[in-house]
Amino acid sequence: MKRATVLVARAVFPEVLARLSQHFEVEANPDDTIFGKPALAARLAGKAGAFTTGSERIDAEVLDANPQLRVVANMAVGYNNFDVAACTARGVLATNTPDVLTETTADFGFALMMAAARRMAESEHFLRRGEWTKWSYDMFTGSDVHGATLGILGMGRIGQALARRGALGFGMKVIYHNRSRLAPEQEAPIGARYVDKAALLREADHLVLVLPYSAASHHAIGAAELALMKPTATLTNVARGGIVDDAALAVALRERRIAAAALDVFEGEPKVHPDLLTVPNIVLTPHIASATVATRRRMADLAADNLITALTGGRPPTPINPEVLREGRLAEKTPRA
């Protein structure tokens, strides 16, 4: 039987490429070029599967140009780059990489929150400019993290991991808002308290966003929401760009309506709203919350597991639209020997 051909859309660990090559004919992208939609559609010609990242938009147009495509495996927990409904309608399995990056992302989210609270970026820039000439009692005084109120918007795996760090490590009071409330046995160990969104915004000393991006969560934090927050509060986003109205956030920071912010994700990234680059009270990082060698390798391995399993007749570990498997529609796309 002729081996299936897959596209690995971005550069990835050589060991992962070698593993995929044991099963498939692999078209790799060692130059790490980001393919626009026409180029991506052309590259997918004749491919049974694709190993993707958040950079590749898989929508109806791309799928219709490639009716032979069977599996798209995202090396990410988020999948707003996939039109899942379009994939499902065409019998294309979509997969992602949940769980393997939970603790690493929570570590980074907590670090960003602390950096914002303690004004680390501001003070480093001050030092690098050579402006530090003496100690003063109020030099870069920020806000405490220990004993403060941690507000979490989105209480999935990463939100719960952040809550554990705050409650058990720093004695923080944890409040949260989510589409659904946690079970009592999940709330009790960390003393988490479910509140409505308005109460979350009003009460949190440090608000962290970890909700998935969707049309419903677009600009979930905008000017009106920022106006409800304490002027001493901080905002941290390790979820997805577009959840925060970056332009409104820049205004709130410049006018000190909130004390500080920390962002790892941006609307329209890798572009960053220029106003965010002009305010001092912000920490900015380039979407690296999961960026440890061990975690990125686990993500790549899980994406490869999904691709290999789906295209060799097994059940992938983490499908996004498992109804494609239940209905046997993936098998219908399998070429006969």
Active site residue 240: yes
Cα distances (angstroms) measured from residue 137 to each of 134, 140, 259, 313: 10, 9, 19, 66
**Rounded Cα gap, residues 278 and 259, in angstroms:** 15
Both structure tokens of 125? 């820039």
Q: Who's near 170: CB < 8 A, 6+ residues apart?
A: 145, 146, 147, 148
Is 70 among the residues known to form the active site? no
- Looking at residue 190, what DSSP letter applies? G
The 3-state secondary structure of 24-91 reads: CEEECCCCCCCCCHHHHHHHCCCCCEEEECCCCCECHHHHHCCCCCCEEEECCCCCCCECHHHHHHCC
Whether 255 is catalytic: no
Cβ atoms of residues 100 and 201 within 8 Å = no
Catalytic-role residue among 165, 240, 273, 296: 240
Say how many C-beta atoms besides its own lie within 10 A of residue 181's C-beta.
13
Per annotation, catalytic residue among 202, 269, 297, 298: 269
| 45-53-179-112 Cα dihedral, nearest 10 degrees | -170
Q: Which of 164, 287, 297, 298 is catalytic?
A: 287
Amino acid at 125: H
CA atoms within 13 A on the CB side of 84: 14
3-state secondary structure of 7: strand
Contact 152, 163 (CB under 8 A): yes
Q: Write the DSSP symbol of residue 244.
A: B
Indicate the burial class of 87 (C-beta count within 10 angstroms; 0-12, 13-18, 19 or more). Answer: buried
Rounded Cα–Cα distance for residues 112 and 291 (Å): 14
What is the Cα 259 distance to its own chain's centre? 24
Catalytic residue positions, numbered: 240, 269, 287
